[in-house]
A and B are shown apart, each in its own frame.
Chain A
Amino acid sequence: MTREEIESREDESMMDAPQINKPKPEEFFNVNYLRIYYGKRTLFPYSDIHKWLSYGHDGKHPGCDEYYFGRREFSFTLENDVYLRYKSFKNASSMEDAIRSHFPYKIDIGAVYSVDPDKRHAYSQTGSNVFTPVERELVFDIDITDYDDVRYCCSGADVCSKCWPLMTVAIKVIHTSLTEDFGFKHILWVFSGRRGVHCWVCDPKARRMTNEQRSAVAEYFRVYKGNENNARKVALMGYSLHPFLARSYVDYLKGFFEGELQATQSIFSTKDKYEKILAMISDEDIQSELRGKWENSARSSLSEEAISLVRWEQLKNTLQSKKHKAPTLRMCVEEIVFTFTYPRIDLEVSKQMNHLLKAPFCVHPKTGRVCVPIDPNNCDDFDPLAVPTLSQLIEEINSGGSRMDVDDDDDSDTSLLGKSIKFFRSSFLEPLLKSCKEEIESSYKTKIGKSKDSLSW
């Protein structure tokens, strides 16, 4: 399957209207492919997922909670939109069996509850809520359709190399904050399969956060407050940016806006486009001044990108000299940059412990792509259009191609999925499990109150 073919498939994303000469959606995603994907032991990484969600409670240490994995909620979405909630599994093999008997189109991961979700009705629920979430990763969902008002290359479900960088910048901003500001260490970023990214923060501290605390972190990240009613959707008050926003601006957003964004989106090149930006300046005189300059300029010799850059400079200079006119102009330049580049997370996903989120390594039904992890330290290199699809994986197997044995320690594994699974293990799972085991050991020791000396006679 060549890249061109993949790209042309990407152009027809909707499953409804059957069209002549276009490959049917079933060709890159269908139940048979799913059977193979979940049927083979070497594709969907069952044991890695199980190890991850067990967080070290593998029963090998006396301090382990052997029922921990069994209290995690999963949900399956089957063919024909049949939805099965509150599924839970004792161990990896029962999870495997369940997936292999249903071949779900989508698998979601929920919270760890106080009792097996499967058995929640067996416990009487008088007064105090016995069935309640106890742990859950801190999660974020960023979807590029939330940026439709600032991207001109695509809209809706589409995504391309011109607008994907918005996701890259979002990952950088949020990841830096999660590690530097909040001190989190075990963070997994995952491609959502079509047009966005998910983030799973798995530190013990994060898993135990209350809804109120999750909401606080989501609000901390929130800058964009847009709807159709206001033209100025980012309002930065005060006399300077909060250090978090300042760092994001200086380290990522400014450079991205003045560089890559201008090249790919040319946000000043046409009247429609620049009017949108002028509307963000809350001073009619400045708006007219700039409009006057731009309406009449006949710079046909310059590229769209060059025109945009020139106009951006003009806007900055004008605002610099006039920003003392009103408090709302003080950080107008920054506001424009933030409007176009700052991450827009889906607040509702993050705020509640019981919110379900798609599992990594699922396959997206509309694109056939696997939801593979993204390396936050190399996210510039991630290309959503080069992510392996189901049909590619199947073809690889059929052609008897590269070694499918991903359990091999050989770093030169070149199978399509093997690289992602290796990355998942080495960058995320292993450090996580190491730290989990340490935590289980130390809390066990504290509980027992034993010291080495007490064993000596």
Chain B
Amino acid sequence: MEVIRSQKRTPSNDTVSNPKIPLYLTAPQMEVRLEEFELFAIDRLRVLKGVSDGLARGRNPKEMDDLVDTLWKEHMRDPDASVMLNKDIISHFVLRLVYCRSDELKKWFLSMETALFRHRFRLQNFEAQRAIVGEFGLPYKAVTGAELEGLKERLGQVVRSLGQISPTVEAVYYKVPFEEVPDLVASRRVLIQKGFAFVAGSQLVSLVVTQFRSHISKALILTNRKWTTTIREREKDRLTPIVEALSTSYLGPDYSQSTEYAEISLKDIDQVAKSSFPLCMRHLFEKVREDHHLKHGGRMQLGLFLKGVGLKLDDALAFWRAEFTKKVGSERFDKEYAYSIRHNYGKEGKRTDYTPYACQKIILSAPGAGDHHGCPYRHFSEDNLRAALGRMGLSSRGMEGVMDQVRNKHYQLACTMTFEAVYGTSCDAGINHPNQYFEESQKILKSKTPPAPV
């Protein structure tokens, strides 16, 4: 792929044989305008972010199909089909450059691209799916007509043996040499006859997706190698700044730069904690006040949150010092804790400006004995959670809705419902970041209270 500055677009000589979903097997041989390089990538990123949101909110597969359809039409569509295809391909490869650069980025990109592929595949009609399967070079043949009729009863038996009480024998089955699907054979998830396995359409999706995922995963490693050895340096005045900028916007605002809404000062902090902090941060805050200490996980989670909320470094140091010195003394505080607070603000060491944790990260953390970080909706016992929600002011009716979400492991939805119950308004966007909770909360409270007289 060649990136050029010219205004003229040279016609693409990328002849794509058929599929509506490209497989991104090889980098396209075409020229790309510099502006397109960035814009296409941003549009695709919006799609991927939408997919990420959908998954975090626990959407079922059908809902995800619809979501992907909507997102794609909104951000990636073009009246000219070949332009749309080029955009698809180019944006994918640009984002590979962006997301190959660290393990965390790779993991996110791989998950989202795979999910995107899965749902786009499911949206295709039978013919298109077959064509895609063919593109992977997999020897799958569709079973139809009389042959399918003859197998229907046993295919139903297979479905029932897998736990579905009334078997829905799917409309499409593929006849595949059994050697191609060892996983399905080993777990007896397919009918096998005369050396052929009969793979259902839905099983095919997961096979194809596995192939896709494996390919992208390998590609990311190669891309990373190329990036670090040649591209980054070669492109340091042109593409590299664009690439580096693109990844920081991956989950929406990262709250590392506080906005004017969010600036708080030390004297307000207790009041603001009670009125606007999400449960996870409230809990940590209360514990700091109570125990005059927090272990590392808690310090990180709360400390970065406070930074995002607008607490300046000096105020942060004062806050932590005020509490910790009650337990460990001033000298130890300076020696052991002050450094890492400054580190969080980017004033020490690598000078990375660390970003506050999003819900996804907090939910996935593993608090141990003596820890108070993590997501209370996930990590608290039911009794403790109820007590905490009660202290936030939830009625028993509101609590049931929240507990229901918790039981279904939809922790962010639980937090969203808490928000809605506390502030009496709906939160359509859904909570996916503690700082977002804070900001939304502040917006509501400020709109309710008249400005204080000067």
Contact (Cβ within 8 A) B160 A238: yes
Interface membership of B364, Cβ < 8 A: no
With both beta carbons as reference points, the residue of chain A lying nearest to B164 in the complex is identified as A239
Contact (Cβ within 8 A) A238 B185: no
Contact (Cβ within 8 A) B163 A182: no
Chain A residues with CB under 8 Å of B185's CB are 216-217, 219-220
Contact (Cβ within 8 A) B186 A238: no
- 8 A Cβ contacts from A228-246 to B: 237-246
Chain B residues with CB under 8 Å of A183's CB are 193-196
Interface membership of A212, Cβ < 8 A: yes
Most buried by A among B178, B183, B194: B178
- 8 A Cβ contacts from A187-223 to B: 205, 209-210, 212-213, 215-217, 219-220
Interface membership of B162, Cβ < 8 A: yes
- 8 A Cβ contacts from B164-196 to A: 164-165, 178-179, 182-183, 185-188, 191-196
Contact (Cβ within 8 A) B158 A242: yes
Please, how many angstroms separate the alpha-carbon atoms of A240 and B155 in the complex? 12
Interface membership of B111, Cβ < 8 A: no
With both beta carbons as reference points, the residue of chain B lying nearest to A218 in the complex is identified as B186
What is the number of residues of chain B that contact chain A, defined by CB distance less than 8 Å? 23
What is the number of residues of chain A that contact chain B, defined by CB distance less than 8 Å? 25
With both beta carbons as reference points, the residue of chain A lying nearest to B155 in the complex is identified as A243
Interface membership of A181, Cβ < 8 A: yes
- 8 A Cβ contacts from A375-402 to B: none
Interface membership of A258, Cβ < 8 A: no
Chain A residues with CB under 8 Å of B162's CB are 238
Contact of A239 among B165, B188, B194, B195 (CB under 8 A): B165
Please, how many angstroms separate the alpha-carbon atoms of A84 and B273 in the complex? 77
With both beta carbons as reference points, the residue of chain B lying nearest to A208 in the complex is identified as B179
Please, how many angstroms separate the alpha-carbon atoms of A241 and B162 in the complex? 9
Give the A-B pair count, Cβ closer than 8 A. Answer: 65
With both beta carbons as reference points, the residue of chain B lying nearest to A243 in the complex is identified as B154
Nearest-neighbour CB distance to chain A for B313, whole angstroms, equals: 54
Contact with B along A236-270 (1 / 0, CB 8 A): 01111111111000000000000000000000000
Interface membership of B395, Cβ < 8 A: no
With both beta carbons as reference points, the residue of chain A lying nearest to B194 in the complex is identified as A183
With both beta carbons as reference points, the residue of chain B lying nearest to A240 in the complex is identified as B160
Contact with B along A27-65 (1 / 0, CB 8 A): 000000000000000000000000000000000000000
With both beta carbons as reference points, the residue of chain B lying nearest to A214 in the complex is identified as B182
Chain A residues with CB under 8 Å of B192's CB are 181-182, 220, 244
Interface membership of B161, Cβ < 8 A: yes
Please, how many angstroms separate the alpha-carbon atoms of A181 and B196 in the complex? 8
Contact (Cβ within 8 A) A213 B161: no
With both beta carbons as reference points, the residue of chain A lying nearest to B177 in the complex is identified as A205
Contact with B along A329-350 (1 / 0, CB 8 A): 0000000000000000000000
Please, how many angstroms separate the alpha-carbon atoms of A216 and B191 in the complex? 14
Contact (Cβ within 8 A) B186 A216: yes
Nearest-neighbour CB distance to chain B for A204, whole angstroms, equals: 12
Please, how many angstroms separate the alpha-carbon atoms of A287 and B195 in the complex? 43
Contact (Cβ within 8 A) B161 A238: yes
Contact of B182 among A215, A240, A241 (CB under 8 A): A215
Nearest-neighbour CB distance to chain B for A273, whole angstroms, equals: 30
Please, how many angstroms separate the alpha-carbon atoms of A180 and B196 in the complex? 10
Chain A residues with CB under 8 Å of B405's CB are none
Please, how many angstroms separate the alpha-carbon atoms of A313 and B24 in the complex? 62
With both beta carbons as reference points, the residue of chain B lying nearest to A219 in the complex is identified as B186
Chain B residues with CB under 8 Å of A182's CB are 178, 192, 194-195
Interface membership of B247, Cβ < 8 A: no
With both beta carbons as reference points, the residue of chain B lying nearest to A247 in the complex is identified as B154
Report 14 cross-chain contacts, Cβ distance below 8 Å, ordered by A residue. A181-B193, A182-B194, A182-B195, A183-B194, A216-B178, A217-B185, A237-B161, A237-B163, A238-B163, A241-B157, A241-B161, A243-B154, A244-B192, A246-B157
With A220-B192, A238-B160, A239-B163 given, name 6 new contacts (CB 8 A): A182-B192, A183-B195, A209-B179, A239-B161, A240-B157, A245-B188
Interface residues of A (CB under 8 A from B): 180-184, 205, 209-210, 212-213, 215-217, 219-220, 237-246
Interface residues of B (CB under 8 A from A): 154, 157-158, 160-165, 178-179, 182-183, 185-188, 191-196
